[in-house]
Structure 1
């Protein structure tokens, strides 16, 4: 059986990422960017490439991220002794703590250390570029080997010689006190990678540990409940940031399923406007404003350059701002535990999702102190978002969950159009749009009236998924979180009860929505972001003790190194979906902040409408 999703740890240089298992195998790596073609893809097919270093006989392993970093140390214990492997994606230096990954050399570092006794170790190096399609030529050279095939030439720096057949492999004994440093380099095809000495590799490792710690010291300003988890989640969001542009990806993987063997397998290696807007708030809480500003600048520029003239604001982009993310299937890969198809690209980029206008305006409102420094093009763009939301809010769309069964009048989409108008009115002076306030105010009131009339269902006793629908949807938990209605309003309290009763599993984790035709076959697990939303809403409703319990249940879904997937399997509790998922870590950060502020008395259900919860100072 393939390695469990939750058995992986994340390595990142803020340009791309690798996943390394508890067994010491790097089973996922795309180079040189998050959305590039994979060199190691055993995650999606046994023969699709890996790089492992582990004892050759039976062992037990444990691991931890080094304090203040995303450098992972895995300890392997055998009957004869113990070794440890420290894995890092070299970030380069971090002068002043504001440019983590800006000078990343794009080198993956693995340092093997003998702790006690003598341990026989086996290393396997089996690169398979193009998602496993290419079996490259492996050439032993002094100090390691070169790998030719596919769009990049790889160089492996190694202190031990490898034998080559179908893959490269080496067996050797590690004694207590030994240190052996390995490094993987990649350059464009036709270039020759420079192999590094043991000392240079060690320097890269210590430089990376130091760079992460400088970033953490400079950026981790959150103080409150679950402080360590919030700070760690902030580092995860930083690791999912593409440094050259500031884009934040949804996850570094593709096609990890929402149910084992099912078809709900999507490519998440892109930047969604929605996800990024939520992440911006989380960065503001867990990190510092300059990170949030960098992302907002990228997001505004990418969205403003939509080639379709903003008839529908594009909902997602490539990390460099690419618009065309056309989806296709990789038929040669069986998928994780047979979950096919494996997809690259994501056709959701073609969808209409009207909520993005409100989410971008939430971002602008949170960064309102920055807006006086923004250029006029950005300010005009933001004002146009409000105009478009006001003009189009009556139209149906595919909604936050990106259904493939046709457009509907989703309540969440209407709500976020209300948010766009609401924040437009609040920011009109900064946007130079005071003359539009009467129209924006009128439309804001019209949307509110429509939601109150058509989103509430007396028979269900809750706000529902769409106008006239009976389907419960956890996105209605956002109604109090954006200030539309107080969480202790009778209708909202009834909605909370309905969601808790009908959308939660035996663990108390929340499903996205009830039974409905979403255009896809198969099921899915519970959704961690939605569970954190429930925790926030409960806190605002005055049920703080229950909010803490819900938070703890969701946070317990993290693996041994604090990483969370998108979903949790009903019954087994196994991690499902792409991994690690930015949305889940965003949910943890925002819920921790909200519960802490409610518990301290800084936030109440009746004060949330002023935007404080979405704009912590």
Structure 2
């Protein structure tokens, strides 16, 4: 098959899992049990790994044109196909639980994929191709006709039940194929329900009614949040994407929907981002605070505290499974060909074993920012987490680590890691009145000041005239843009201002994009949004606005950002949709609205 561009995919979510649906009408990624479970449709990683296509038979031929948009304030996607014979809309969603409203969204999602076809004009011939391949394409299911006209696909631990409303399914060995016609005003619904092989067969949802219910559930959730700053529509949409990446049962935030979409086509930096990084989790909380969605802070912090457990001398894990699992060991799926031939395809992520000293600072910064929603006295588990993280930082800040970019070579004294250690103790000192008698604010303050002195002395590189990525290193690293954003140095400080200019000129990739380091193959969107914030704080509001506008242009046609942008082609690369990219947008928009925010 011709490989779709990463930007050609739309994102569906039920806050349990998510799916990718292409402009060509094919669902090419769905892990129905939860975000980090095995896929049943995996064509984005291999043409033989399963898909569910529903589109006009004329799709891709001359005269075929596609328009698509999300139903307002939802992750329900409506794709309109215009053909020489007429026009038809296909509306796709992952079903919400019936009656779910507000913050109940996703708590008990039924794991049902909904597809509703609506004739708009003329008479359009449609094609259906349902080809599930569970376990990342390892399993080919048996297909069984059901008394109610549905088709049951069974393989290994998975069953899927396809229902086709008024369209008799044609089973062709290991797939269902069918063609049918839709006239103007006609509506035809399809649904695919997921279940476990040795449980009860999943009950059917009526697609049209379930779709309407899902739209209402999403809109009711968004109506409870009010953001009045600049770039309102983009912020609300990014907040919706972040909600869609949240595993509602626990509150964990998946860093992205996908695994192994490459940083560079044909490259081997292909990692599984379907887990919850504490760094991303903390940044997401702050972004949702900006987007006026702070009401779930206590529950989300409870997930973090329970996942971390009692903090001891060992490094706090960088990431967890969505229900707090620690061991997410990495392995390669040798049978998959990879997106654009990019190998290996990885499941799991061995970064969980790394020491990354910035993580406690991210978490404690989020606790401080959301303190007004957590009560004057923190609950026991949260208090123990804050105390434990502060003590661990006090004991380990001087050690080398793998840094914010999770390098897989050697430990170094990364500057941003040290700065986030400073943040951890600075916020712990401020939180001390809420932490009880074991808070050692005086000692934390002394170590905090020692860290600051060390960073200012050892982080500056005279030859380059900038703060380097690691102590003693002349190599630029865009993560140093965080220094003004966390309050370590003002952006107007002469050395910090020189560093911002050095990063912008030395790591700039055109069109406002910033690479993480000089060998990075693509512009990294979170860093690019950090530069917007730094320019605002440096008093360059006009230049910051112009940069922000250019970055908005890198979203796809439905407002989604992947991880990176190839500066040569402008193509999106990396896993998608990427939480950090949307977090960066929200934070930069708010900084443009209120430069005084902390």
| TM tier, smaller | over 0.9
Q: Does 1:206 align with 2:203?
A: no
Q: Does 1:556 align with 2:556?
A: no
Where 1:43 maps in the other structure, the secondary structure is coil
CA 1:442–1:94: 2 relative to 1, 3 Å: farther
The answer for the alignment partner of 2:487 in structure 1 is: 483
The answer for the alignment partner of 1:365 in structure 2 is: 368
**1:350 maps to which of 353, 370, 376:** 353
Structure 1: how far apart are the matches of 2:329 and 2:11?
27
Matches within 5 A, 1:586-597: 586-597=583-594
Matches within 5 A, 1:268-287: 268-287=273-292
**2:344 maps to which of 341, 344, 352:** 341
Structure 2: how far apart are the matches of 1:253 and 1:293?
28
Matches within 5 A, 1:505-520: 505-515=509-519
Where 1:372 maps in the other structure, the secondary structure is coil
Q: Does 1:474 align with 2:482?
A: no
Where 1:42 maps in the other structure, the secondary structure is coil
Q: Does 1:385 align with 2:386?
A: no
The answer for the alignment partner of 2:161 in structure 1 is: 155
Q: Does 1:418 align with 2:426?
A: no
Shift of 1:310: 4.7
Matches within 5 A, 1:531-570: 531-570=528-567
Shift of 1:549: 1.5
Q: Deviations over 1:353-409 (max 9, x none)?
A: 011111111011012121435322321221121111111110000000000110000
Q: Deviations over 1:298-337 (max 9, x none)?
A: 112111257xx45111110000110001000001101000
Structure 2: how far apart are the matches of 1:434 and 1:353?
25
Shift of 1:190: 2.7
Structure 1: how far apart are the matches of 2:259 and 2:297?
25
Shift of 1:164: 2.0
The answer for the alignment partner of 2:571 in structure 1 is: 574
Structure 1: how far apart are the matches of 2:478 and 2:361?
18
Shift of 1:288: 1.6
Q: Does 1:444 align with 2:441?
A: no
Shift of 1:196: 3.0
CA 1:94–1:539: 2 relative to 1, 3 Å: farther
Shift of 1:207: 0.6
Q: Does 1:501 align with 2:505?
A: yes
Structure 1: how far apart are the matches of 2:13 and 2:119?
25
Structure 1: how far apart are the matches of 2:208 and 2:161?
17
The answer for the alignment partner of 1:170 in structure 2 is: 178
The answer for the alignment partner of 1:326 in structure 2 is: 329
Where 1:418 maps in the other structure, the secondary structure is helix
Q: Which structure 1 residue ranges, 4+ long, deviate > 6 Å from structure 2? A: none
Structure 1: how far apart are the matches of 2:210 and 2:443?
57
Matches within 5 A, 1:227-238: 227-238=232-243
Where 1:181 maps in the other structure, the secondary structure is strand
Matches within 5 A, 1:8-157: 8-57=9-58, 58=61, 59-93=64-98, 97-141=102-146, 142-157=148-163
Structure 2: how far apart are the matches of 1:302 and 1:576?
31
The answer for the alignment partner of 2:379 in structure 1 is: 375
The answer for the alignment partner of 1:607 in structure 2 is: none
Where 1:182 maps in the other structure, the secondary structure is strand
RMSD: 1.4
In 1, are the aligned partners of 2:377 and 2:434 still within 8 Å (CA)?
no
Where 2:376 maps in the other structure, the secondary structure is helix
Q: Deviations over 1:18-72 (max 9, x none)?
A: 0000111000000211000000000000011000100011321110000111100
Structure 2: how far apart are the matches of 1:170 and 1:144?
13
Where 1:294 maps in the other structure, the secondary structure is helix
In 1, are the aligned partners of 2:310 and 2:384 still within 8 Å (CA)?
no
Shift of 1:195: 5.2
TM-score w.r.t. length of structure 1: 0.93
Structure 1: how far apart are the matches of 2:193 and 2:571?
34
Shift of 1:459: 1.1
After TM superposition, the structure 1 stretch with the greater mean CA deviation from structure 2, 95-104 or 529-538, is: 95-104
In 2, are the aligned partners of 1:163 and 1:169 still within 8 Å (CA)?
yes
Structure 2: how far apart are the matches of 1:11 and 1:206?
15
Structure 2: how far apart are the matches of 1:574 and 1:372?
48
The answer for the alignment partner of 1:266 in structure 2 is: 271
Unaligned runs of 5+ in 1: 516-522, 604-611
Structure 1: how far apart are the matches of 2:306 and 2:354?
20
After TM superposition, the structure 1 stretch with the greater mean CA deviation from structure 2, 51-60 or 271-280, is: 51-60
Where 1:509 maps in the other structure, the secondary structure is coil
After TM superposition, the structure 1 stretch with the greater mean CA deviation from structure 2, 335-344 or 164-173, is: 164-173
Structure 2: how far apart are the matches of 1:151 and 1:363?
39
**1:313 maps to which of 303, 312, 316:** 316
The answer for the alignment partner of 2:246 in structure 1 is: 241
TM-score w.r.t. length of structure 2: 0.96
In 2, are the aligned partners of 1:462 and 1:495 still within 8 Å (CA)?
yes
The answer for the alignment partner of 2:581 in structure 1 is: 584
Structure 1: how far apart are the matches of 2:10 and 2:330?
27
After TM superposition, the structure 1 stretch with the greater mean CA deviation from structure 2, 563-572 or 371-380, is: 371-380
Structure 1: how far apart are the matches of 2:439 and 2:270?
46
